[in-house]
Chains A and B, each alone.
Chain A
Amino acid sequence: MRDLLLCPPDHYGIEYEINPWMSRARGAEAALAQKQWKDLRATLSKLDCKIELVKPQPKLPDMVFTANAGLAVGEKFIPSNFRHKERAGEAPHFARWMEEHSYQISWLPEDYYFEGEGDALFSGDVLFCGYKFRSDIKSHRAVADILGCLVISVELVDPRFYHLDTCFCPLPDGGAVWFSAAFDEYGQRAIREHVPQLVDVVPEEAAHFSCNAVVLDRDIVLPEGAPKLVTMLRERGYRCHELAMTEFLKAGGACKCLTMFLPQRDAMPDAQ
C-alpha cells in the first residue's frame, strides 16, 4: 500500500497565467474538475492506495497540484520554494500538514527555487531533478546534501514541459517513459546513461501530458489521449488506467501533478 497526498479542487480555477497552458480566457469548469479529481481519487484508492487529504485554501487554486508541495523521502520532507509568488502561499500549509504527520522538515535557503516532486523523481537510487523553468540547479545540490543521494540535474528546454514530471516518468523496472525533446542534449545524454530502457512518447501524446502518470508497481494511472504509449506499456506488462484530465490540463497539470507520494521512497541506505 502506498500513501498519497491529494488536495480537493474546491478552490481550483485558472486565476493567473504562469505557464503556456494557462489562459484566464479558458477557465476550468468547476463541476467537471471535481468529477475528474474524484475519479482519480477513486482509481488510486482502488489500486490499494491510502489517500490523505490536505485542506484546500482559498486564493491558492493550484494547491490541488500536491506534487509541487515538496519532496518526501523516508521521514524527511523538503518543502518547495515556489518560483512564482502566486504559488508561494501554498508552502506553509503543506509544511504544516507534513509536520503534523511526523515528517522532519528541511527548509531550503529562501533563494533556492525548488518545486518538489514536480521536479524531483527517483529512478532506483538516483534522483533526477529538472531545472530552469521552475526549480533552479542550486536547489539540487542542497537536496543531494539533505538526502545523501546522487542527483542528476537535467535542463528543461520546452516551456510547455516546465516540470520534470510533465516529460519524464520512471518505471519500477528501471526504465522510464519520457519525451526527449523536452530536455537539452546533455540532459538527454545523462538520462540515457542512467536509465537503460526508455520508452519514447510521441509529441502529440506528450502534449496530452502522457508522462504525467502515477506509477504504482504494475499499475499506471495516466491521462487519456495516449493510445501508442498505452500499447507500449501494456506490452511491457503494465496495466494502464486512463482518466479524463481536461480541466487540469488547462492549468498544465494531470494525474501526477495532483498526487504526492508519502514518501516517494524510503530513506537512502547510507543516509543518516
Chain B
Amino acid sequence: MFSETIELRGHIIDSLILPKVLDEILRAGGTFKIDQIKIGQQRVDQSFARIEVSGPTHETLDELVLRLRQHGAEVVEKGDVQLASAPADGVFPANFYITTNQQTFVTLDGKEIEVRPAIMDSAIAVDNASQRATAVKFYEVRKGMKIVVGHQGIRVAPIQRSTRRTEVFEFMSNVSIEQPKSAVIRAMARELKRARETGEKILVVTGPTVIHTGGAEYLERLIEWGYVDLLFAGNALAMRDIEDVLFGRPQRINLDRGGLDDAGHENHIRAINAIREAGSIARAVEIGVLQRGIMCSCVRHGVEFVLAGSIRDDGPLPDVITDAIEAQKAMREKITGVTIALMMGTMLHSLAVESLLPANVKTFYIDINPVSVSKLTERNRFQAVGLVTDVEAFLRELTDCLAKLDAAPARDGDKT
C-alpha cells in the first residue's frame, strides 16, 4: 500500500467534510488511519484532523489525494530517510535499519519509493540517481553504499487480514491436530484453483518425506495439472525421486511390500551416478534415462526448480547448488511474483524459504509434527494455514478435491 498523510482544518465536523473525506477514501479502495484529531470546543472553533491515507497503487493514491484536496485536504511533506555509507564490503554502518518481510517504503527527496524485494533481516541500500531502494544482505553490501540508518522516513505497510470472511486464511489460521482436515483441504484446493485460474505463481517447498510417505504420485499430478510453478527442495528429494524411478524403490524401504530391502542402500548412489553421467536432470529426461517421477514432471512441464545442497548430501546431483549463498540468491531471484507457497514435510527448508518470502505470500504448511507446523505458522501470522497431517494423506485428499473441482462447474455453495 502507498500512503500520504493529509491534514484537514476548518469547520470539518459541522460541514461533514471529515466523514465525506473518509467515505471518499474507502470508496476509492483506499484505507485511512486517523493519526490525530482535535475537535473545536466552541461553536466557532475550527477542528483539525491528520489522516494517513493509503491506496493500492501510486496512481490510485494520487487520484484520490487530488480529489481530497478539493475538499481542503493538505498533504503533509515527508522527511527523507537518513543515510550512511557502508564502512567495508559485507559490513553495514552503525544503527542500520533492519527490514521485515512486509512492504516497506522510504522517502527520498520528498517522494516515497518502495523497497524491493520485501525480504526480512536485510538492510536498505539507496541509490539517489536511479531513485531505487533495495533490500540487501550482508554479502551484497559494498564499501561506500548508501545504507538507511535510523527510522526516519521509513514506512511499513502492514499486511491486512483478509476481509473476505469465507477465505481459508480467515477460516483456519491456527494450528491444531483437531482441525476438520477435509474442510481445510477443500478450502486450500479452492484457493489453489483460484490462483491457477488467475495466473498467480505457486511455489512448492518439500523434502524426501513426500517420497517416503508415498505421496510422489500426487505431487506429480499437481505438477501435471498446472498447480506448481516453482519447486524448492534439496538434494534428497530429487535423489529419492530418481532412485524410486530408476530402481523401483527408495533407499531401504520397499513401498510395495512395506518392508526393508536388503540391497536398497546402494540404489541412491547409483541413481546419483546415472544423473551425473547424463550431466543434469533435464538432460537425463531428454535422453530417456529419467522417464517419470517428480523431477521428470518438472522438466516436462517447465516447472523451475532450485535444489539447495547441505552438508549431509550424498553426491550431490549435478543440479544441486552447493554454495549456500548462491542457492539463496537463486531462490530469491525465482521467488519474485510468488503468491502462494505450499510447504510440506520439511521444517528447516521451509523456514529458510519463509525468511525469503514477502509477508503477503499466502502459505500452507503441512507436517505430521505439530511443533514444526507451529514454528512455521508463527513466522507468518497473517497469511498462513498450518495442517498437522501426513503428507501423503494430505496430497491424496488435495488432488482428489482438485479433480472434483476441475470436473464440476462452480456452484454458489462452493464459495465457502
Contacts and interface: CB of A to CB of B under 8 A. Distances in A.
Contact of A153 (B11, B19, B44): B11
A218 interface: no
B17 interface: yes
Nearest to B11: A151
B414 interface: no
A88 B87 CA distance: 59
Contact of B14 (A148, A150, A155, A184): A150
10 contacts: A136-B72, A137-B10, A137-B70, A140-B11, A144-B11, A151-B11, A152-B14, A184-B20, A186-B15, A190-B15
Contacts of A186: 15-17, 19-20
Contact of A148 (B17, B44, B70, B71): B44
Given A145-B46, A151-B10, A152-B15, 10 more contacts: A131-B70, A137-B17, A137-B72, A144-B11, A144-B46, A150-B11, A153-B15, A154-B15, A186-B16, A270-B44
A141 B44 contact: no
Nearest to B23: A186
B43 interface: yes
A190 B16 contact: yes
A186 B16 CA distance: 6
**How many B residues are at the interface, by size bracket?**
10 to 19
B201 interface: no
B70 A153 contact: no
Given A137-B17, A186-B20, A190-B16, A153 B43 contact: no
Contacts of A24: none
Interface centre among B20, B43, B46 (most CB of A within 10 A): B20
Contacts of A151: 10-11, 15
Contacts of B46: 141, 144-145
Interface string A129-144: 0011000111011001
Contacts of A154: 15
A194 interface: yes
Contacts of A234: none
A233 interface: no
Contacts, number: 58
Interface string A232-272: 00000000000000000000000000000000000010100
B196 interface: no
Nearest to B18: A186
Contacts of B9: 141
Specify the main secondary structure of chain B where it touches its partner. loop
Contacts of A141: 9-10, 46, 72
Contacts of B44: 144, 148-150, 268, 270
Nearest to B73: A137
**How many A residues are at the interface, by size bracket?**
20 to 34
Nearest to A141: B10
Nearest to B9: A141
A189 interface: yes
A141 B19 CA distance: 18
A187 B9 CA distance: 17
B327 to A, nearest CB: 57
Contacts of B72: 136-138, 140-141, 153
A145 B9 CA distance: 11
A187 B72 CA distance: 14
A154 B16 CA distance: 9
A194 B14 contact: yes
Interface string A141-172: 10011001111111100000000000000000
A9 to B, nearest CB: 33
A137 B71 contact: yes
A40 B19 CA distance: 42
B24 to A, nearest CB: 10
Contacts of A138: 72
Nearest to B14: A152
B10 to A, nearest CB: 4
A150 B42 CA distance: 10
